[in-house]
Amino acid sequence: MIKQAFLVGAGFLLSWSIAAPVYGFGSATHAYIAREVGSTEGPASLQEIYGALLPDVFNTMFVDPYGASLATQTHYEFMKFVAKAESENDKAVARGFASHNEAWGADRMAHVSSIGDPNTGYVIRKSDELAAALKPQVKLFLLLAGVADPDAVIDEILPGVAHTAIETAVDLLICQNEDPQIGPRLVLAAQVRGWSSPILLCKAYAGDVAAAAGITEAVAAPLIVAAENEFRLQMELYGAALSQGNAADALAEQGVGLAKSFVAATQGLVIDIPVDLMKQILTSAIEVVKDDYAAQVAATITRVRQELKSHGVVE
């Protein structure tokens, strides 16, 4: 959620590993779920799609110490946002926003309870499996790169890398199999999002941001507006990358520079990270999820549709 690094936006490959516990499904998956459970087509559907992405808005603050607490707000106190929606356009955004949550929405299936394991979310379970498979390869790479204590680095970054690689793998498979137009839909949703979306965020969460950061709401509101603007641009870039015929290659290549910067900033290491390693990680993630992701997403759609009705978000 501060939502969800390996392949987000222009390629946030490793940056999301800081706040990995608050991530769930990837942006394209949330967009697909929102479109499937949405009540309308056309422009309103695009607003629902953008709303479904928006709980991850504070992900752009991954170096901020308050990021995790703010992500909790958007994923558990999501009805604050819904309550502020008055116009039909804002209500469409709010429907998408509510579909994302971790209490009973899409991210509950990703993090908390999934098909086959009611005690573990799908993304969590698959991330653990991927991390175990990747560990020997990543350790060898770090050793060859001259890292003195590769195990310590692995413990710090590998869980987050695996988490976001799983999310991205599901995104790519949905683009390939369920909705080849989901990339362009992300681009359009980001481009045509209503002008009031950042205002709704401010109304719902400026007080929480102010309290977390020890600032006034007058100072917090512009920070939220800036975070939403950065997030919107990232979603447009991510959708554009997913729209390419070689989306996985494009995202891996984009991720190299940011991955190197992240490792340098957090670990004090300057490492030449090859694009091929990025591609191998994503290929492994796809192998881990390819046989059962569709059933998990279908079950999530059914659950979210029911929960939106039972909680009065839709009629």
Sorted by sequence, the CB contacts under 8 Å of residue 124 that are 6+ apart come out as 110, 111, 163
**C-alpha to C-alpha distance for 246 and 165, rounded to whole angstroms:** 16
**C-alpha to C-alpha distance for 163 and 181, rounded to whole angstroms:** 24
**C-alpha to C-alpha distance for 231 and 208, rounded to whole angstroms:** 19
For the chain, give the mean pLDDT. 85
**C-alpha to C-alpha distance for 14 and 32, rounded to whole angstroms:** 24
Residue with tokens 């942006």: 27
**C-alpha to C-alpha distance for 229 and 237, rounded to whole angstroms:** 13
**C-alpha to C-alpha distance for 113 and 235, rounded to whole angstroms:** 27
What per-residue confidence (pLDDT) applies to 43? 63
Q: How is residue 57 written in tokens?
A: 């808005």
What per-residue confidence (pLDDT) applies to 23? 53
Residue with tokens 């002008």: 195
Give the residue with greater pLDDT, 203 vs 260.
203
Residue 206 has pLDDT above 80, yes or no: yes
Lowest mean per-residue pLDDT among 39-48, 55-64, 153-162, 208-217 = 55-64
Most confident of 2-11, 13-22, 202-211: 202-211
Rounded to 5 degrees, what angle do the CA atoms 88, 194, 209 make?
Answer: 100
Q: pTM to 2 decimals?
A: 0.88
